[in-house]
Chains A and B, each alone.
Chain A
């Protein structure tokens, strides 16, 4: 099996080709200017990994040339793509490519979580994966070492993230390079049922501000 893997939900764009359980090419590069960060914490709240999220528009330039390069004129058998959470625009850039490729080439596509990819970093304990959602919020998910879900991905206040009694603050976000285990992620999902590309959509975990405002107005109106 030849898998094309795409993760553009954060500014570290990852595009990889996996053939018969081996990564034959991986592009793992941060792009553009720094805007915010992705952090991986251990159970005790200590930071073990971090990657910076950058201006997502740049992924839109990089992704197709990168896909072309990694595919090297060959057609993938299947696509594994991150569909969120993370930068709204970033998610859509990679997912549009995956949707169109799956539809045009008539090959299966399987979505997975950006937080799970971040949590693929090998540790002795559960991985708490966080992506900065700004204004004191994060996208958070907890996975064990075999990438089983311990806590479902969610959008939450950073201040409410309580790890073994410890409150994690923004100040703890120091810089350490990521160390993702894409192979582990692929293995975990290779048996997943594929999705009709027409129905493959982002998982933002957050409504747009306009929708939130309208919902509040409607709630107030009904009271």
Chain B
């Protein structure tokens, strides 16, 4: 018999629900993005995000069932992102999930947001193990080793800014509007690597650090301004992106080699970055690595990925009680 997971994701600024069959078959997904609203403030405002989630939560639930042409009785279990993320936002999805689990007597499955990003790839093609996952987004930069399904060993992560955060901050400094990441990526394809920027945290660890690189960009822009000159945005974007791609690629390849792994998956919003995709594709081809990068729609936050991860968590017997609480931060396990 098939397993249908109703998944709920509200960890940041997307109100999303999905119905996923057997961990890989996307029956229906609804994503209500608040990006246009938050663009007015130059970034996600947590309280506004929470306010918009509660306004839309029942509408999204109704729409996903309508789209799937299913009833709650057809659902096997309810999976929900309990963290990490914005606490006020997480709570809306969590309370909705708990209410539905209670009313319909369904198992409640807690899902870690990062597990969701990783399992987004399972919607594209079944994961092959062992694998290395590079999770990169506005809130995360992590290298994870997976021996088998739902086993996560964190090799390293960012010590300060997440890579997507660094993109947004650099975008602001060079006057690129919010959301800066995708636009910097686009500019990077039009410029030349002319600015002397450092390769950040180029050491033997699997950790990352992007605040130094960001500061270097700020200093360069400032110095040019003092000399009465403007920086060439395209060239700054290229120089910045080249360093980011270089260090991400370098440490990822090192992990693949050291752990003797031939499967790489890239996940998270920054997985949509073209510069990184191109470079990793090239390197993986040269090193006999099987690379999976999800479609753009699975890179940003969505409940489909929570439904995919939720299926494996459900199969492993992971369950939560009705007193499940949201967690702003939590180790992936």
Residues of A within 8 A of B (CB): 57, 60-65, 67-68, 88-89, 92-93, 95-97, 99-101, 103-105, 197-198, 201-202, 204, 208-211, 214
CA distance A103 to B103 in the complex (A): 11
Please determine whether B57 and A96 come into contact, CB atoms closer than 8 angstroms.
Answer: yes
Cβ proximity bits B207-218 to A, threshold 8 Å, 1 near / 0 not: 000000000000
CA distance A143 to B92 in the complex (A): 31
CA distance A64 to B48 in the complex (A): 25
CA distance A204 to B62 in the complex (A): 25
Residues of B within 8 A of A60 (CB): 91, 94-95, 325-326
CA distance A209 to B45 in the complex (A): 9
Residues of B within 8 A of A201 (CB): 54-55
Cβ proximity bits B313-333 to A, threshold 8 Å, 1 near / 0 not: 000000001111110000000
Q: Does B40 contact A (CB under 8 A)?
A: yes
A contact face: mostly helix, strand, loop, or mixed: helix
19 CB < 8 A contacts A-B: A60-B94, A60-B325, A65-B321, A65-B322, A65-B323, A68-B322, A88-B50, A96-B57, A100-B57, A100-B61, A100-B95, A105-B103, A197-B58, A198-B58, A202-B51, A204-B51, A209-B47, A210-B41, A214-B41
CA distance A53 to B324 in the complex (A): 21
Nearest CB of B to A97, in Å: 5
CA distance A104 to B57 in the complex (A): 12
The residue of chain A having its C-beta at the shortest distance from the C-beta of B62 within the complex is A103
Nearest CB of A to B230, in Å: 25
CA distance A65 to B323 in the complex (A): 6
The count of chain B contact residues (Cβ–Cβ below 8 Å) is 34
Nearest CB of A to B127, in Å: 33
Q: A103-B62, A198-B59, A210-B45 are in contact. List 19 more A-B contacts (CB 8 A).
A: A57-B325, A60-B91, A62-B323, A63-B95, A65-B321, A88-B50, A88-B51, A89-B88, A92-B88, A97-B98, A99-B57, A100-B58, A100-B95, A104-B103, A104-B104, A201-B55, A208-B45, A208-B47, A208-B48
Q: Does B232 contact A (CB under 8 A)?
A: no
Q: Does B102 contact A (CB under 8 A)?
A: yes
Q: Does B99 contact A (CB under 8 A)?
A: yes
Q: Does B96 contact A (CB under 8 A)?
A: yes
Residues of B within 8 A of A64 (CB): 95, 98-99, 102, 322-323
Nearest CB of B to A63, in Å: 8
Nearest CB of A to B228, in Å: 28
The 7 nearest A-B residue pairs measured at CB: A64-B322, A100-B99, A96-B95, A210-B45, A208-B47, A103-B58, A64-B98
Residues from 111 to 163 in B contacting A, C-beta threshold 8 Å: none
Please determine whether A92 and B45 come into contact, CB atoms closer than 8 angstroms.
Answer: no
Please determine whether B323 and A61 come into contact, CB atoms closer than 8 angstroms.
Answer: yes
Residues of B within 8 A of A57 (CB): 87, 91, 325-326
Residues of A within 8 A of B55 (CB): 201
Nearest CB of A to B140, in Å: 22
Please determine whether B323 and A202 come into contact, CB atoms closer than 8 angstroms.
Answer: no
Residues from 24 to 57 in B contacting A, C-beta threshold 8 Å: 40-41, 45, 47-48, 50-51, 54-55, 57
CA distance A208 to B38 in the complex (A): 13
Residues of B within 8 A of A211 (CB): 48
CA distance A64 to B323 in the complex (A): 7
Residues of B within 8 A of A101 (CB): 99, 103
- Known A-B contacts A57-B325, A88-B88, A104-B103; A96 and B54 likewise in contact (beta carbons under 8 Å): yes
- Known A-B contacts A61-B325, A197-B58; A88 and B47 likewise in contact (beta carbons under 8 Å): yes
CA distance A211 to B94 in the complex (A): 26
CA distance A100 to B100 in the complex (A): 7
CA distance A92 to B91 in the complex (A): 8
